[in-house]
Amino acid sequence: MTLISSVLGTIGAAVMGALAAVGRVVIFALNTVSHLLRPPFYWREFLAALVQIGWLSLPVVGLTALFTGGALALQIYAGGSRFNAEAVVPSIVAIGMVRELGPVLGGLMVAARVASSIAAEIGTMKVTEQIDAMVTLSTDPMKYLTLPRVLAATVSVPLLVAVGDAIGIMGGYMVGTTRLGFNPAVYLQNTADFLETWDVVSGMIKGAAFGFIVALMGCYHGMQSGRGAQGVGAATKSAVVAASVLILAANYLLTEVFFAA
């Protein structure tokens, strides 16, 4: 009996702890969004975050998309040849990149690059009392640090996804035309014929959601950072892990909403 109650107690404590953590993140997110409606808004910090998160992530997202598009073309060609469906390579590459791989891989690459850097920066500011100093200087850290980063990521990641989609399709085109013997004009025509506006838009909506998640996790874990180098390290790790898992979970949910029959 004691053993059962002990096990149940442990499970209950873990569930309560998890629910409390979810609650804290939701409150943090709502608090962040509420600052959109309450001035002041720090434009300079927003523009700086836009450059850091959007512009400087372009190389890593672009390279990821390029190689993924190429690999996808090879895989679809190899798989499709088993039932004489090699011709679907252009359309499947385009749809696969735009609906799934572009947003998800772009989001994960941004999570690795941006969530870690935001969490480390804000975590270091916390342990060196810079956040406290900001408060004593009558500046709300949620307004000055969190909102500009979250907003910049929500705006810039969809654009990164769109550019990544184009580069990914280009990767498939390069492999398709140089290695798999596709006619360049036919490849492009097939891509255009099978791609619908909603495919692109849905991918960009996913990108916006993933951008929001990435910056929110970076800021949240940075603000919750423990003391010292170990605390900042743990915050950085938690931010990347949480952002990555939430991106994959959100991707499933959004796909269910957008494309479930």
Footprint on this chain of other proteins (rule: CB under 8 A): 38, 40, 42, 121, 125, 128-130, 132-140
For residue 124, the minimal CB distance to other proteins (Å) is: 8
Task: Decide whether 38 or 237 has the Cβ nearer to other proteins.
Answer: 38
For residue 121, the minimal CB distance to other proteins (Å) is: 8
Closest CA to 73 of 146, 179, 158, 149: 179
CB count within 10 Å of CB 251 equals 18
Helices (H), the chain: 2-34, 43-53, 58-80, 89-95, 102-110, 116-127, 130-136, 141, 147-178, 184-194, 197-223, 228-259
For residue 42, the minimal CB distance to other proteins (Å) is: 8
Question: With contact defined as beta carbons under 8 Å apart, do 248 and 119 qualify?
Answer: no
Task: Decide whether 142 or 188 has the Cβ nearer to other proteins.
Answer: 142
For residue 133, the minimal CB distance to other proteins (Å) is: 4
Task: Decide whether 67 or 144 has the Cβ nearer to other proteins.
Answer: 144
Angle at 100 between CA 49 and CA 218, to 5 degrees: 30
Q: For residue 36, what is the DSSP state?
A: G
For residue 218, the minimal CB distance to other proteins (Å) is: 15
Task: Decide whether 5 or 34 has the Cβ nearer to other proteins.
Answer: 34
Task: Decide whether 121 or 199 has the Cβ nearer to other proteins.
Answer: 121
